[in-house]
Structure formats: structure tokens, C-alpha cells
Amino acid sequence: MLKRILIVLALLSVLLISGCSAIPNLPASATSPSYQIVRKSEVGGKWRMYQLKIELARGDELPILLKLVDGDKVDGYFDVEKGDGFDFQIKGNTQVYKLEPPAAGKKVSDRFSFTASQSQGNMYILTLRNTNSGDKDVRISAFLEVVFPASGAIFIPLDTRK
């Protein structure tokens, strides 16, 4: 019995030592995007509205999933309040919406609208991304509003750092 315990302890120490050697290879920004639900409400019992304030550090990405059924209509709006190097896209089975880069010095904001279809599937991913790279940490602050049928569902990743 003592021999088995010693073997298990030896294996655990080897795993811990080899696992710790990978820690220096983490990216410079080992953060996850942060968001705050500013408002969520039901409109007329038929629609749901979510308003989010989102902070993205350099290289961060925030995927938001919408579960819809064929024929569901989605409307939304986004506005970059601070920063540049912002990318936003919506995908089902294929791309439904992609932000066209604005002219230099122009404010980044847009409305989007789409209807869920059986050919696109029932899960849509809204992806907000800070495309900045390099040593300088350029943060982006954005506002997002999404309106979808009350029968649909929205999934936003949990912030596990807190």
C-alpha cells in the first residue's frame, strides 16, 4: 500500500513540474473579455432585448450565441465608444453579417438585421473581436443591443476570473 502511495505522489509531482513549465508560454494578455448587461427586458411578451457594455483587451474575442428557430427575426445595433481595431460578425452555418471597415477617422457603429433560416441552422454566433496586436494594449469599449423573439435564447460566456 505504501508503495502505491509513493508511486502516485511521484507521478503527481512529475505532472505538476511539467505542467508548470508551460506557464511562461501564456500570451501577454491572459485576460478574458468583460461585459456588463446594462439592460434586459421582454417587450410585449413576444421579444427579448439585451443591452451589453463590452470591454475587449488586445486580442480578446467575445462570442455570443443565439438559439433561434426558422423564421425568427433578429435586430441589433453596436457602437464602438472607445478604441479602434474592432471586428464584428454573425455566423450561422455561413456568414450572415460582417462589419465593413470604416474610413479612417470614422466612428464605428452599425445596425444589423437577419431572419433565421433552416439552411443556416438554429445557432448563430455573434463575435466581437479586438484585432489589435503588438506590445501596446489597446482596449476597446463597445455597446451592443440585440432584439430577438422571446422563444429564442441567448448564451454569453461566464467571466470566470472573479
Three-class secondary structure of residue 57 per DSSP? coil
Predicted local distance difference test score (pLDDT) of residue 37:
92
Predicted local distance difference test score (pLDDT) of residue 75:
97
The ranges of the chain with pLDDT < 70 are: 1-32, 103-105, 159-162
Predicted local distance difference test score (pLDDT) of residue 24:
38
Q: How far apart are CA 20 and CA 91, in angstroms?
A: 37
Residue 48 C-alpha cell reads as 427579448
Three-class secondary structure of residue 96 per DSSP? strand
Predicted local distance difference test score (pLDDT) of residue 26:
37
| DSSP string for 100-158 | PPPPTT---EEEEEEE--GGG-SEEEEEEEE---SSS---EEEEEEEEEETTSEEE---
Predicted local distance difference test score (pLDDT) of residue 15:
43
